[in-house]
Amino acid sequence: MKRAELPLHQRTITVTAYEEDGDEISVEAELRDERAWAEPSAGVVHRMVLAVRIRLADMVIVAAHADMRDFPHAECPLISPVFHGLVGLSVAAGYNRAIQERFRGVSGCTHLYELARALGPAVVQAAISAGARRRDAGGPSVGPRSTAGVLNSCHIWAPDGVGLRKLDAGWRPGTGPRPVPELGTFGSRSEP
């Protein structure tokens, strides 16, 4: 089977986070669907942005805005205000269930819903990055287990997993080489 020169369809999702004043971050997710084979005026099928602001203390969304920049039907943007319903949700336990109940199917837009799904894990990573940056800049110190927001997210972050044991042995997120060396390289020191 021979593959065509031009892609049939290309979807790109990008998520970017910024530190804001106070104890907040802003996160913007963009989805873009393109058909390289189509005429230029029809090449970009979807280009949508979902932006949220999160209070780090409790990981609650305090502001949300959906923006449809390219869309197939004139009526598509009419659903955008529904996504203000993200405000008040915690990007923690229960987030996926809450967005599914509020925005999946005919209650929302498939593409903005996909962006809401992508935001959850990206917000957790951004919060960890914000904590590491503040710590490195001599800001308010948080405990070495502050990355426990990823607890139970994969085998590394199981409650008895190697991630927490590396933290206890002295590893600090945002430092050192990638991948983080094996646990044994940290010695056996333990910090409270």
Q: Check residue 86 and report its DSSP letter.
A: G
According to DSSP, the β-strands at 24-34 and 44-55 are antiparallel
For position 191, what pLDDT does the model report?
43
Long-range pairs of 36-42 with CB within 8 A, sequence gap ≥ 24: 36/6, 36/7, 36/10, 37/6, 37/7, 37/8
Please give the helix or strand (H or E) that residue 166 lies within, else none: helix 162-168
Q: What is the pTM of this model?
A: 0.81
Alpha helices by DSSP H, 32-153: 40-43, 95-103, 110-136
- In the chain, % helix, strand, coil (3-state, to 5) comes to 35, 25, 40
- The pLDDT tens digits of the residues spanning 23-71 come to 999 999 999 999 988 887 888 999 999 999 999 989 999 999 999 999 9
* Token digits of residue 58: 């409790």
Exposed / middle / buried, residue 109 (Cβ in 10 Å: 0-12, 13-18, 19+): buried
**Which residues have a Cβ under 8 Å from the Cβ of 189 and sit 6 or more positions away?**
169, 170
Q: Which amino acid is at 15?
A: V
CA distance 146 to 132: 9
CA distance 91 to 61: 7
For position 190, what pLDDT does the model report?
46
Res. 187: pLDDT tops 80: no
- The pLDDT tens digits of the residues spanning 100-154 come to 999 999 999 999 999 999 999 999 889 888 877 777 676 654 455 555 467 777 8
Q: What is the DSSP string of 6-51?
A: S-S-EEEEEEEEEE-SSSEEEEEEEEEEE-TTS-HHHHEEEEEEEE
- The pLDDT tens digits of the residues spanning 69-79 come to 999 999 999 99
Name the β-bridge partners of 66. 50
For position 149, what pLDDT does the model report?
63
What is the pLDDT of the chain when averaged over all its residues? Answer: 87
Percent of the chain surpassing pLDDT 90: 53
Q: Which is more confidently placed, 5 or 101?
A: 101
Q: Which amino acid is at 34?
A: E
Query: Which domains, and CATH codes, for the chain?
Result: 10-136 (3.30.390), 146-186 (no CATH)
